[in-house]
Amino acid sequence: MESILTNRVRIEKTAVPIVKKWKWTAGLWLIFYPVGLFRVWKSKWRLWLKLTYTILGLPVFLLVFTYAFIVVFAAFLPALDRSVGQRADRTVVNGEGNYSATFVKTGAETNGAYELVQVELEPYGGNDWHYHSNFKESFTVLDGVVRIGENGKDTLLYKGDSTSVTRNHLHFFKNARGEKSVLLVKIAPAGALEKTLRVAYGLINDGLLRNDMTENPWHMVLLLAYSESYLPAMPSWFQEPLINSLAKIAQWRGEDRELYKYFR
């Protein structure tokens, strides 16, 4: 009886390192898929386990490899240009909804301290949940009623009311009534709100942006990166490097040249 117990203890002691080793190496094998594939097929695993690893491991490896390649490649490219040329026009009009945005103070005029834009919102118009990682956003209702959402909660603001949204907080703003409302938006420090609105309105007027999607996917990436806007669907550690890297690649490809007419 004693020998049986002794053997059982020895087996358990040797099993623990094996389990720990598997937990540690399994993730690495998925990342270094070719190495893992070789080791799996050389092992004594059952055939169905080998096939499962082979089939399921491939898309994981391709995703990790593609993501890493994009981020590393973009790291050697020039920084994304968020500047705007010397424009005499202070107001841009969205012809689709016949509403406008007026640049009260640009980043160039405040030495990058802040941007101030007066935005007209069409009936029930606005944007959906998103967040910004590099600036604080403040809203003041100049006319009408605006619904402001932040971190899962929303508030109605009436004429004269103000509120602020700190960086990294999910938020949205929407016109809460069936007629035009006017909202004053301030971002500090200055980002590229002017460039974003000039490009977005220009694409809409040319029929190249419909239902919040651009005809050219590279332009969508550039718009997100210009405004440093990120979505709630993906974790920040994944999407922020990806969006910024893709935008730098779009600029390197010259995809932004079609947008020059809107902001230069």
Report for 32-36, 96-100, 138-142: range of highest mean pLDDT? 138-142
Report the pLDDT averaged over residues 190-209. 94
Long-range contacts of 148-154 (CB under 8 A, 24+ apart): 148/172, 148/173, 149/173, 149/174
* CA 12 – CA 139 distance, rounded (Å): 63
Q: Is the pLDDT of residue 20 over 90?
A: no
From 2.160.20.10, 3.40.50.620, 3.60.15.10, 2.60.120.10, which CATH number describes the 91-263 domain?
A: 2.60.120.10
Burial of 248 (C-beta count, 10 Å sphere; 0-12/13-18/19+):
buried
Least confident of 85-89, 115-119, 196-200: 85-89
Is this model's pTM higher than 0.75 or not? yes
* CA 129 – CA 126 distance, rounded (Å): 10
Give yes or no for a contact between 31 and 57, defined as CB atoms under 8 angstroms apart: no
Q: Percent of the chain scored above 70 by pLDDT? A: 88
Give the model's pLDDT for residue 208.
Answer: 95
Sign of CA dihedral 238, 244, 247, 248: negative
Report the pLDDT averaged over residues 224-249. 95
Least confident of 49-58, 104-113, 245-254: 49-58
Give the model's pLDDT for residue 17.
Answer: 45
Least confident of 26-40, 132-146, 199-213: 26-40
Mean pLDDT (the chain, rounded): 87
Listed by start position, the domains of the chain span 2-75, 91-263
Q: Is the pLDDT of residue 137 over 50?
A: yes
Residue 9 backbone phi and psi in degrees, to 5: -60, -45
The token duo for 98 is 């016949």
Give the model's pLDDT for residue 48.
Answer: 84
Give the model's pLDDT for residue 31.
Answer: 57
Task: Place 192 in a pLDDT band, splitting at 50, 70 and 90.
Answer: very high
Check residues 12 and 222 and name the one with the higher pLDDT. 222
Q: What is the DSSP letter of 78?
A: P
